[in-house]
């Protein structure tokens, strides 16, 4: 494995990455999977270092809805976000890792994932995100692309159950709730249109990256 953190460390996530294999095996059986210690350590630590300087991230109150409909709705979500553009080596390595995962998912699950977008998120103590899905199968407004697979990664060392802040995933088949502690290195992957989820309020600052792999829908953008 490469010792250097570079965009080239897409090679740090080789085509036979056991983590990617585990994701694919689980996603053949169910609509979601959660993997502790999923991030390559160099990537994880570089992103953690960046998140430990939150003032430099340019975090702003998150909103809901697409483009023109975008509104800040603190009764639904109260996190602050900053979109990842690839402006630091850590961000470039993250985008390279996500792209290696995108290609792996396409090769093994035939998902046709076409692009990726992601943002840092900070949930201050008490902040939450009410139950939602990340995409709607029959959205009223035609769009050129839609979110198909959601990816969330966590950056909170030594998270304890009593800190709260779980991601609750609701299995679409059984309706059962599965709780994810936002511990450093844990990754959740789930079908954007099918898995309702929510972020419970935490007693500590809580940092994550949320990302979405998109597919082209063939509609003309309006
Ligand atoms: C989201 C989301 C989950 C998390 O941003 O859509 O569901 O745990 N985030 O940060
Ligand atoms: Mn979500």
Place of tokens 């699950």: 109
DSSP strand pairing (167-170 vs 80-83)? unpaired
| Least confident residue range of 29-43, 53-67, 169-183 | 53-67
Residue nearest atom 10 in ligand 1 by C-alpha distance? 208
pLDDT at 137: 74
List pLDDT tens digits, range 11-59.
554 556 999 999 999 999 999 999 999 999 999 999 999 999 988 999 9
pLDDT at 166: 98
Q: Return the C-alpha torsion angle 221, 62, 89, 19, nearest 10.
A: -80
Q: Which of 76, 77, 121 to mutate to test the pocket of ligand 1 (most atoms within 8 A of CB)?
A: 121
Non-local (6+) Cβ contacts of 207 within 8 A are: 51, 54, 120, 121, 122, 123, 154, 155, 156, 182
The mean per-residue pLDDT over the stretch 70-84 comes to: 89
Please report, for the chain, the start and end positions of each structural domain, with discontinuous segments joined by +: 16-56+81-215
Which H or E run contains 168? strand 167-170
Ligand nearest to the CA of residue 207, numbered in listed order: 1
The class (CATH top level) of 16-56+81-215 is mainly beta
**pLDDT grade, residue 2 (50/70/90)?**
very low
Tell me: pLDDT of 1 over 50. no
Tell me: pLDDT of 220 over 70. no
pLDDT at 204: 97
């Amino acid at each position: 494995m490469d010792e250097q953190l570079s965009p080239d460390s897409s090679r740090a996530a080789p085509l036979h990455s056991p983590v990617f294999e585990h994701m694919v095996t689980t996603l053949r059986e169910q609509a979601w999977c959660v993997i502790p210690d999923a991030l390559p350590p160099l990537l994880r630590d570089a992103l953690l270092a960046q998140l430990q300087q939150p003032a430099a991230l340019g975090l702003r109150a998150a909103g809901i809805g697409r483009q023109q409909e975008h509104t800040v709705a603190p009764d639904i979500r109260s996190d602050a976000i900053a979109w990842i553009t690839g402006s630091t080596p850590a961000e470039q390595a993250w985008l390279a890792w996500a792209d290696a995962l995108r290609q792996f998912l396409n090769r093994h699950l035939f998902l046709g994932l076409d692009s990726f977008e992601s943002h840092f998120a900070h949930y201050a103590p008490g902040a939450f995100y009410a139950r939602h899905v990340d995409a709607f199968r029959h959205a009223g407004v035609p769009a050129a692309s839609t979110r198909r697979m959601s990816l969330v990664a966590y950056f909170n060392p030594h998270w304890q159950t009593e800190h709260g802040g779980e991601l609750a995933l609701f299995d679409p088949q059984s309706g059962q709730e599965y709780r994810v502690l936002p511990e450093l290195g844990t990754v959740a992957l789930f079908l954007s249109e099918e898995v309702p989820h929510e972020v419970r309020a935490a007693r500590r600052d809580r940092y994550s990256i949320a990302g979405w792999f998109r597919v082209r829908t063939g509609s003309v953008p309006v």
